[in-house]
Amino acid sequence: MTAHSSPSTDSSPKVVSAKFLYPFILVTSLFALWGFANDITNPLVRAFKEIFLISNAQSSLVQWAFYGGYATMAIPAALVIRKLSFKSGIIIGLTLYAIGALLTIPAASMMSFNIFLVGFYVLTFGLAFLETSANPYILSMGSPETATRRLNLAQAFNPIGSLTGMAVASFFILPSLQVAEFRQAQWDAHPEYSDMMPSQVDGLITTALETFKATQQEEHLAMVAHDLDVVKIPYVVIALIVIGVLALFAVSRMPDTGHEEEKIKLGSLIRHLFGSFHYVGGVVAQAFYVGAQIMCWTFIIHYGMTLIGLSAAQAQNYNILAMGIFLSSRFICTFFLKYINPGLLLGILAIAGCGLTLGAIFIQGMAGLYCLIGVSACMSLMFPTIYGIALHGLTPNDAKLGSAGLIFAIVGGAFMPRMQGAMIDGDGMTLFGQTLESVRISFFLPAACFVVVAIYGFLSNTIDRKERTSQG
């Protein structure tokens, strides 16, 4: 079926034909690579807050730099790929990925938060090239009728990389930080903390850490140096892996499925894209979806530590659970796409995601945390399905430029976590007779994002149904 056709039980082209199997597997490996980078970085927002003793808004600059790199490079990457090839774009992307990851070495040596930010910024230059290349490349590897299903299948391997990144953060980075040991020592030294609200305890421990920095500067600097060395190690390792994948692409023959001799007609392409609700709405929906995803996965650690009283590593373990659900749901939803219009399923899942986010806001204790975890099941389908709907009907060559807008939309992951971090730094409020901490209030932002995604999904489905009726 096409991305917008009605479900059919008739025989249809294979999702991946034999002649594209090897390049499909090779390109699909990239989805795991950028998933790793995304989700090993998310926990650093909280870690850097404590290592450098900065505010939530300042520490969220990690996401500002990380996802800002996508916005900066998305359109230049598309123009380069259009001029060259998908394979060239992938090689450039892997090179920038490795350079950005290796910048953590001087960042840790100089104990500089700003150099870490530069490294993440450059790294995501590479990811912009990879995503701008890989997504439309996968779409082009076979029949347009199976394009959305093929992209969902490839994107299903993205959470494998994400899970690996989360696991490295949970089992290596966060437990190895001396600042985490300092927090635990404060808990052990103050048994009265067990009778206080977790949010109050979190503030007291932060104050103790600030006092430690002011009164024992050498010891604090040694702790910072140790913790930043812990942070850099996984980035150096992934840089070496990326270099290996780069070498594999360099020696592999890849199909030039997106090549066209026709010169770019930028004016007509822009008019075509911006005259399409599916495309313009898709760019907007993608920005809000990515913002919601990054907020839910970044600040689940703040939610667990501030509202439940978990350690950073314990809270990150729940993020791993959320990613496991995300991965399972991606495969399940890819199956359902065979029978349900993508826009309709997108809208239903977005409404469910909004409902669960509201549950995380208003439901106390572990039940609220489980609601936040459950949001991941609803998000699993969203990125590739919005992508497929938005690019439906474009030639592979035009999709290279059209995909740039959708990759640019990842900038939602830069702006919205910054806004949520500022909300967390603010005060709580009373709503409907219930006192809500600032962390809870901040999750109204991703809830609103899911409403935007739902509107896009349902409107896309309505337009598709009308087009089928008029053709039928």
Beta bridge partners of 418: none
**Does 141 map to a domain?**
yes
pTM (whole model) above 0.85: no
Flag whether 428 is in a domain. yes
Cβ(428)–Cβ(441) below 8 Å: yes
Q: DSSP E strands: which ranges in 320-408? A: none
Does residue 99 form part of some domain? yes
146 with 168, same domain: the answer is yes
Structure tokens at 163: 């899970």
pLDDT tens-digit readout, 41-75: 888 888 898 899 888 888 888 888 888 888 788 78
- Residue 454 in domain: yes
Residues 106, 231 within the same domain:
yes
Question: Between 58 and 135, whose confidence is greater?
Answer: 58
Which comes out higher in pLDDT, residue 168 or 137?
168
For 114, left (φ over 0), alpha (ψ -120 to 50), or beta? alpha
Rounded distance between C-alpha atoms, residue 348 and residue 352, angstroms: 6
Q: What pLDDT score does 145 carry?
A: 66
Do 437 and 288 share a structural domain?
yes
- Whether 130 is in a domain gets the answer yes
The structural domain count of the chain equals 2
| Same domain membership, residue 45 and residue 151 | yes
- 4 in a domain, yes or no? no
Task: Quote the domain boundaries for residue 35.
Answer: 15-254
Describe the chain by its helix, strand, coil percentages, rounded to 5.
Answer: 80, 0, 15
| Mean pLDDT, rounded, of the chain | 83
Q: For the segment 441-466, what is each residue's pLDDT rounded down to a tens digit?
A: 999 999 999 999 999 999 988 887 77
Among the candidates 220, 254, 288, a domain finishes at 254
Query: Of the residues 225, 254, 283, which one is the last residue of a structural domain?
Result: 254
pLDDT at 381: 84
pLDDT at residue number 377: 93
For residue 198, give both structure tokens: 């977790």
Residues 6+ apart with CB under 8 A from 215: none
Residues 314 and 436 grouped into a single domain: yes
User: Which residue spans within 425-465 are E strands per DSSP?
Assistant: 429-431, 434-436
∠ CA(16), CA(21), CA(25), 5° rounding? Answer: 105
Same domain, 154 and 301: no
Query: CA angle at residue 356 from 346 to 373, to 5 degrees?
Result: 95
**Which of 5-19, 61-75, 91-105, 194-208 is predicted least confidently?**
5-19
Which residue, of 196, 227, 254, is where some domain finishes? Answer: 254
Q: For residue 238, what is the domain's CATH number?
A: 1.20.1250.20
